[in-house]
Chain A
Amino acid sequence: MNFLRRTVLATAAAMALAPAAGFAQETIKVGEINHYKRMAAFAEPYKMGIELALSEINEDGGVLGKDLEFIFRDDQGDPAEAVKIAEELMTRDGAVMLTGTILSHVGLALSSFAAEKGYLYLAAEPLADSLVWKSGNPYTFRLRASTWVQAAMLAEEAAKTDAIKYATIAPNYAYGQDAVEAFKENLKRLKPEVEFVAEQWPALFKIDAGAEVQAIERAKPDAIYNVTFGTDLAKLVREGGDRGLFDGRNVYGLLTGEPEYLEPLGDEAPEGWFVTGFPWYALEDGTPGKTFVDAYTEATGETPKIGSLVGYMTAQSIAAAIEAAGATDTEALVAAFEGLTIEDTPIGALTYREIDNQSTLGAWVGTTALEDGKGVMVDWEYKDPAPYMPSDEEITAMRPAE
């Protein structure tokens, strides 16, 4: 009973809120801002990942001898609202730093706000490259591997084939445009003779899949690069599958292998696509990743999404930074985050690079396949982001003078 469980959880959460105020001085608070309603499918696993990490951290005695607590707030996916809530969290609720957001533009708004006001902001999920590069600032750190890195991993694989003519399809907004640009640039560097014969730009979550498939088919590409996700992806896969678009063509899918997007496709998941994703089901026993998956499944009764992992590692990163700083003022925390290394995350050691405040979290790449009526990634490997990053000089040149 989904409804019943949710109601119980909501009531429990409401009751938990009440006494929290009384113990204000006994916890260290972190302000977490996200689009819990607008992007519920992505935000809920993320939140559960955080909660799992928090329970583990606090069982081990918390940070600096106090419990670590997250204050979760909903910004409705509106950057202006997020900035307002951030101010409240920092000045009224006693949060020591900010984290959260999935949508890149909200992340960019919070990042600019954090730099202006001198607050620390850890961007957990936003993928925009500019967050740590062109619009980077000393107060903003970012956990997830950015669009550029993930697209470069796919481009590397694409360059190995003899496909020359590519078609791209990406949602018509900044993320999609960045993703196509990054793929093109990386692929052309590796293989200058490729051409891009079609670029399709459906509106986000309003794809006209039949028409897009026809347009791509008309260009007769050798290979296709897909950036669509969520309901757009589902429609594209259906129409493309029915109309034979993917037959005999290599397809590269950015994020397509993430459980958030692959699972809802069920037995209609595409086969043979080369994708980035999160093959939680195939992690080996004894690895830290598997330990995380088991703990998460046990605690929540659900299988993990990539958001669960990001949430978990967000809370881990923050706890480690506070512990390393030995204090909770912003300057100490920023200093602690620079070059911070956390040994025991689900991917092993994780470092926040000093040069651009980006973490060293990489991405899993692999080929999609159907197993037991479900889409999975096979022949996958975890790739470190370092080889796919621009050079240190390029990054320093991109980042505004610190």
Chain B
Amino acid sequence: MAFFLAQFLTGLANAAALFLVASGLSLIFGVTRIVNFAHGSFYMLGAFIGIYLMEILPGAVGFWGAILLTGIAVGLIGAIVEMVVLRPIYRAPELFQLVATFGVILVIQDLALMIWGAEDRLGPRAPGLRGVWRIFGEPVPKYDIILIAITPFILFALWYLITKTRLGVLVRAATQDREMVGALGVNQAWLFTGVFALGSALAGWGGALQLPKGGADLLMDFNIIGAVFVVVVIGGMGSLPGAFIASVLISVLNVFGVTYLPQSTLVLMFVVMAVVLIIRPYGLLGREEVAGEHGQVGAPETPIRPYGPVGQALVAALLLGLALLPLFVDQFMLILTIDMVIFALFAASLHFILGSGGLVSFGHAAFFGGGAYAAALLVFHTDTPMELAFLFAPLAAGLLALGIGWFCIRLTGVYFAMLTLAFSQLVWSLAFQWRAVTRGDDGLVNIWPSDWLSGTETYYYFALILGVGGILFLRHVIHSPFGYALRAGRDSARQAEATGIDVKRVQFAAFALAGAMAGLAGGIFVFAKGSVFPTELEIAKSFDALIVVFLGGVKTLAGGVVGAGFMTVVEDWLTRLEYWRLLLGLVIIAVVIVMPEGIVGTLRTLWRRIRHTDEETV
């Protein structure tokens, strides 16, 4: 019994920092509707700034004072980020801001490396709180008890702020209907800045409070962000008590998982999230999102049409150029172009469900990597001929998408996104942990194409034909009756149902098709690289695709492809430089601010303005 109690206390202590960070994210999302990927970065800043301040300020007063000041400092940084980066783009399409926050992550990572250096820092101990107290004979670290005691106060303080103060009333009003709050004369801009600063400060406090149990290092931003999103989603996006319950739930389950199922550490929380979302689609205490509640911000959208003669001629010229490329350039340029084509097809498949279907998937890498793994496993274990194994890639990915889609498609918005993320993590952990079959992160190597395809030039044409073929096929589907049905479901599910379209079934089919196309890209990928590793299934891979789709422009035809090409080229240039993450982050932020409709979308708007044509004639 005493052992269980001790374990429970460990879980509660772990929940403290997690709750602080998660409550900040939940608050920011609730009010501004921004999915803030950079939240982990504020947590990391909190840890580094906390150590710095604790070194200056001596004694117990200095320690706790440093923690307090850290939150304020990180809050200020958050306010600056909000004003400089996010304020210009609130009117951009929904979720577009997450691209900007991704740029912020990159910038903060490199700045932290510049300022604090690469070495891990051990956090200072809390003065007078080293060692343990014994509870029923079980040792419990003193600082754990302090953390357990502090957390309810923080929850209470936040609860008081939200329910009892005028600021809280405004925040709650903005969470429910921000247009109305604006109409009633509240300065939304400052409200958003304030909430963002408070959310960042909470993350900073989380980073500083965990110091006596850990420290500061440059990987902690990515290491916590997954857990934080899981907590916020399980609790219900925007719900503070939900975040509290979820962080306790996850932390305590984790402790018991470590003891009774030690191998489960990679996936346990994602399994919990998947189960919760399947049973309660809006998290434990979340509110159902009414369709269109937050409205389509920005100008009303004109339906996408097939390209006119000019557009078609441009595409044809581009294709001709690609076909003749081997005559002009060296081998490496071909390899870079193969990478670009693979990425473009992957991005186009995501763009298909995201742009035309309105389904934001955070787990699309499951299908890319799934296809790659399907082909590689066949070659590796059964020596299947490459041609046959290759066909299996889109097939297996499509089947996987059918399976995952069956669970996910009933959800909408961010919850749909998070459930796809949970499933992609399950696929990842399968590849990572099932070493007998997948060789874990040693990966599957020596997966090379058949002899007739092994030349770089031959493989280039192979990749080009299949990649471009896949992209053109997706484009045709968008303009087919099926594509129109999909777009109808996106724009107005109710009206689409009324005209006889089974919206969920159409979305389900589109999701599977997108999965199969991502799998095709994965198939081309694995034979181009000769190996596949679980990295191809990681969250980061899904986000790569997501970011280029937004950068290229969601509400366009070519957004995914153009975004992928842009990103591949920019990355290839910048990674040669020492501080490439800083530069890449700044480039992304700049593109986002200058081109809030994405690259293609903004160019299209410019083109129309130059031609002085109205939208009907394009």
Contacts and interface: CB of A to CB of B under 8 A. Distances in A.
Contact of A205 (B139, B219, B435, B439): B219
Contact of A113 (B6, B227, B441, B530): B530
Interface string B124-152: 00000011100000010100100000000
A230 B118 CA distance: 12
A186 B377 CA distance: 31
B535 interface: yes
A76 B576 CA distance: 11
Interface residue SS majority, chain A: helix
B326 interface: no
Interface string A331-351: 000000000000000000000
Contacts of B443: 79, 105, 108-109
Interface string A97-123: 000000011001101110110000000
B144 to A, nearest CB: 7
B578 A10 contact: yes
A172 B263 contact: yes
B62 interface: no
Interface of A: 2-3, 6-7, 10, 13-14, 37-38, 40-41, 43-44, 73-74, 76-81, 83-84, 87-88, 91-92, 104-105, 108-109, 111-113, 115-116, 128, 130, 135, 172-174, 177, 198-203, 205-206, 208-212, 214-215, 218, 230-231, 234-235, 238-239, 242-244, 263-266, 268
Interface residue SS majority, chain B: helix
A87 B331 contact: yes
Interface string B258-287: 110011011000000000000000000000
A172 B144 contact: no
B531 interface: yes
Interface in B324-344: 330-332, 335-336, 339
Contacts of B121: 264
A108 B575 contact: no
Contacts of B113: 37, 40
B109 A112 contact: no
Given A211-B11, A214-B259, A40 B218 contact: yes
Interface string B234-265: 00000000000000000000110011001101
B14 to A, nearest CB: 6
B600 to A, nearest CB: 26
Interface string B104-121: 000001100111111111
B255 A208 contact: yes
Contacts of A206: 223, 227, 265
Interface centre among B109, B227, B339, B575, by most A CB within 10 Å?
B575
B482 interface: no
B270 to A, nearest CB: 11
Contact of B335 (A74, A87, A108, A203): A87
A234 B122 contact: yes
B64 interface: no
B214 interface: yes
Given A14-B577, A87-B331, A242-B139, A108 B442 contact: yes
A260 to B, nearest CB: 8
B531 A211 contact: no
B266 A172 contact: yes
Nearest to B109: A37
Contacts of B120: 41, 230-231, 234, 264
A264 B215 contact: yes
A208 B251 CA distance: 9
